[in-house]
A and B are shown apart, each in its own frame.
Chain A
Amino acid sequence: DAGVIQSPRHEVTEMGQEVTLRCKPISGHNSLFWYRQTMMRGLELLIYFNNNVPIDDSGMPEDRFSAKMPNASFSTLKIQPSEPRDSAVYFCASSLLGDMNTEAFFGQGTRLTVV
């Protein structure tokens, strides 16, 4: 398995533009997480899905952020409109719910820069 795949790896966009980050979880995993990493706030959980259903989106900072998981093999995180303070590395992770020793596997991340 190729692991969790995120795209793009780097994104530079202008303030006000829409940004879509993509994630392909590991095949067979049924939980998917979106994290944001910054120097100031560390790793923050934005939202997580179980069996394609959003369970907790309390970490989503504002209504400008939205996430979808239309099927078990694909998820998107959208920011519209983007702002400079959204600049961060966004990670997607997946795991197998039900496994007591749950390991979350992370993708390589998308480095977003909003100018």
Chain B
Amino acid sequence: QQQVKQSPQSLIVQKGGISIINCAYENTAFDYFPWYQQFPGKGPALLIAIRPDVSEKKEGRFTISFNKSAKQFSLHIMDSQPGDSATYFCAAISSGSARQLTFGSGTQLTVLP
């Protein structure tokens, strides 16, 4: 069961453009939504995260938009740079004692110079 659906699978953006990755979830028990960035040969690393009581969070060029009623959230990368080329995973963490991560399927972003 895919609890977090992510799109698109791949994305190509020109340098300076805006990259947008979308995710949707089904489980209302999720209460924390991180985004991970993964470079080839490396493990995923936390990029930015949001709680459902906030509709937007911005850190530098990265912004998460959150729509609780629609159970959707998205990552926007402003002024995309070639160094942003990586695989991005949205994730969700369930409330309760476990706090396990459920990942989306990933988006491979390529920013052209």
Contacts and interface: CB of A to CB of B under 8 A. Distances in A.
B61 interface: no
> Which of the listed residues A4, A102, A107, A108 has the most CB atoms from chain B within 10 Å of its own CB?
A102
Interface in A79-115: 91, 93, 95, 97, 100-109
A43 interface: yes
**B contact patch SS:** loop
Interface in B81-113: 89, 93, 97-106
B43 A42 contact: no
B59 to A, nearest CB: 13
A107 B38 CA distance: 12
Contacts of B98: 48, 50, 55-56
B95 to A, nearest CB: 9
B46 interface: yes
A45 B101 contact: yes
A101 B101 contact: no
Given A50-B98, A56-B98, A108-B43, A102 B93 contact: yes
Interface string B62-80: 0000000000000000000
A106 B100 contact: no
Given A50-B97, A50-B98, A104-B101, A42 B32 contact: no
10 contacts: A33-B101, A43-B44, A43-B103, A43-B106, A93-B43, A95-B99, A97-B97, A100-B32, A102-B99, A108-B42
Interface of B: 32, 34, 41-46, 49, 51, 89, 93, 97-106
Interface of A: 4, 31, 33, 42-43, 45, 48, 50, 55-56, 91, 93, 95, 97, 100-109
Q: Which 9 A-B pairs have the closest CB atoms?
A: A106-B43, A43-B103, A42-B105, A102-B99, A103-B46, A106-B44, A91-B43, A109-B43, A107-B43
